[in-house]
Amino acid sequence: KKGYVMRKCCAEPDGKKTPIGKRGWRMFYATLRDLILYLHKDEHGMKRASFVEGSHNAIRIHHCLASKAADYTKKQHVFRLQTSDWAEYLFQTSNSKELQEWIDTINYV
Ligand code: I3P
């Protein structure tokens, strides 16, 4: 599964709330392979090796939980991703079909 998403960091891998200044929404080209969700700057990023280094940009989805973020009402088609090490992210997808596909892919790989 791959495609453009918007991401907001909510909690860090230690479970602490992501500090102000790092909580904004950013666009990435996401690809899921080998149980890792890679977040690239854009879809050419893989060829140009413009992969953004850092734990927030290569998220291990083993034992992750993805669920619709029904409590987040500021944007549409948003799901919450909780990792096994207590990080938490919101991801906005482009429509309800994409939303369900991302949730299912992450939960059932
Ligand atoms: C954040 C940014 C986010 C906002 C977040 C801010 O500021 O404005 O868009 O979340 O609010 O902290 P910064 O870029 O300086 O980190 P929302 O879009 O969901 O409102 P929050 O701290 O209440 O999560």
Query: Which runs of consecutive H residues, i.e. helices, occur in the chain?
Result: 45-48, 96-108
Predicted confidence at residue 37, as pLDDT, reads 94
Q: Please determine, for residue 33, whether its predicted confidence score (pLDDT) is greater than 50.
A: yes
Nearest atom, ligand 1, residue 25 CA: 9
Q: How far is the CA of 72 from the centre of ligand 1 (A)?
A: 12
22 close to ligand 1 (CB < 6 Angstrom): yes
- How does pLDDT run across 83-101, given as a tens digit for each residue? 999 999 999 999 999 999 9
pTM: 0.93
Q: How far is the CA of 25 from the centre of ligand 1 (A)?
A: 8
Nearest atom, ligand 1, residue 72 CA: 19
Cβ 41 vs Cβ 29: under 8 Å: yes
ipTM of the complex in this document = 0.96
